Amino acid sequence: MGTPIFKLVFDRKKRASATKEGSVDLRITYDRIQRHVATGVRCLPKQWRNGSVVNRMDAIDMQQTLDTFVAKARRIVNEQMQAGTFDILTICPLISGKQKKEAGEKVPAKPPLMQFLNERATIRKYGLTKDSQERYDRFLRWFEQWGGMQTFGDITEINVLKMDEALVEKKLKQNSKWNNYHRFFNSFILDAIDEGLMNKNPYKRVHIDKEQETDPLERCLTKEEVDRIAQLDPTTDYLRHAQDLFIFQSFTGLSYIDLSAFDANKLRIINGQYVYSGKRGKTNAKFTFMLMQPALNVLKKYGWKLPIMSNQKYNDRLKILAVMAGINKPISCHWARHTCATLLVNNGVTEEIVSKVLGHKSTKITRQVYAKLLDETVADAMSRVEARLQ
């Protein structure tokens, strides 16, 4: 018999990704038998290096938590070894504090479900942008108000389906249901399993559609449709403001949150052109674009300060403008971002440049979401090839 070996291991269940945290567990090996104990610490793959937490503002605190956990485990094991009662098969519950109690003793109650969700959300939100933090808060507010699950025991396959039905009644699209609600709940369930509060994940047997309902190309306007909106002559200021904001977005690619934060004082003049750079409110990724003439005209029209309105009012007014322009599409402000990307791609702008304009962290995202060629572009390109072959 040797001495128990302790080692911290990251993401042993292979659940982590570039944007999804993995669990740090303590592995105890003795007499060729291994057991794992969840430490409660989670981080991204890039934040784990050579057995330590790195690249985080709270890395020192998290590492101290791990060191304390390992020290506690060593102490418990040493005490068991000295007493001659050490058993690798039963040591983990002693370390995690979840061992079975003797008859007559009370088993500690699990924390209330909402308390657990709020505590985990506080940890998961750390270091995220305000927009990302608000998405967690929005889910928690809705989940508590819905009230369909009050305890860990309520987290069943049937109740996950009932949760999905409640979201359908909320008239959410498939991708929005998953990205803004189910995805967060699933991550909390994985945390609960890691901490021994649950045994299984109902999402493994329940299919929730994660796909977007329409192709991004179907959520953009053609240049001719953009011109039709630009040529409208609305009779009210609020419609004119929505019209001009949409034109500005269609030639800058800004999302609503970045449109709201637009500051003309940050414009620079490079080679005689106005250039704007910033960081996306959603992902903190950098973006840069040149103000094309239609966008510059809008900005000058309002004295270099855009007539921002609430997202809901903006989208409502865009629906009216679409009807006025004879466009039978349910446009919203995000359509302008797709429209800008499509216009750039179909006019020969490279994916690298489009990616920089949109503030994507890689061209892969641009290629998957926006790099769609209109039929006219494909036809024109093949016509030029045909002419050269004759």
CA dist., res. 269 & res. 262, Å (int): 16
DSSP H/E element including 303: none
Give me the residues paired with residue 22 across strands. 43
- Fold of the domain built from segment(s) 216-386: hpI Integrase; Chain A (1.10.443)
Q: How many helices (H) and strands (E) does the chain have?
A: 16, 8
Instruction: Give the per-residue pLDDT at 371.
Output: 47
Instruction: Give the per-residue pLDDT at 390.
Output: 56
Instruction: Give the per-residue pLDDT at 366.
Output: 55
**What is the full DSSP assignment across 48-76?**
EETTEE-SSTTHHHHHHHHHHHHHHHHHH
CA dist., res. 101 & res. 72, Å (int): 20
Give me the residues paired with residue 30 across strands. 33
pTM over 0.95: no
Instruction: Give the per-residue pLDDT at 221.
Output: 87
Instruction: Give the per-residue pLDDT at 175.
Output: 77
* Gyration radius from the chain CA atoms: 27
CB 120 within 8 A of CB 188: yes
Instruction: Give the per-residue pLDDT at 226.
Output: 92
What pLDDT digit, counting tens, does each position of 49-93 carry?
988 999 887 788 788 888 888 888 888 888 888 888 888 888 888
Each domain of the chain, given as residue ranges in start order, spans: 5-96, 113-204, 216-386
What pLDDT digit, counting tens, does each position of 248-293 carry?
999 998 888 889 999 999 999 988 889 998 888 767 788 888 888 9
Domain with residues 113-204, CATH architecture: Orthogonal Bundle (1.10)
Instruction: Give the per-residue pLDDT at 124.
Output: 85
Q: Residues, the chain, total?
A: 390
CB 185 within 8 A of CB 139: yes
CB 197 within 8 A of CB 110: yes
Tokens 């969700």 belong to 117
Give me the residues paired with residue 166 across strands. none
How many CA atoms within 13 Å lie on the side-chain side of 178? 11
Cα–Cα distances (Å) from 205 to 126, 160, 202, 208, in that order, read 31, 10, 6, 10
Q: What are the structure tokens assigned to 324, written together? A: 């006025």
How many CB atoms sit inside 10 A of residue 209's CB? 13
Q: What is the DSSP letter of 337?
A: H
The residues of the chain scoring below 50 in pLDDT are 100-103, 105, 107, 213-217, 369, 371-375, 377-378
Q: In what order do the strands lie in the sheet with 273-279?
A: 268-270, 273-279, 286-290
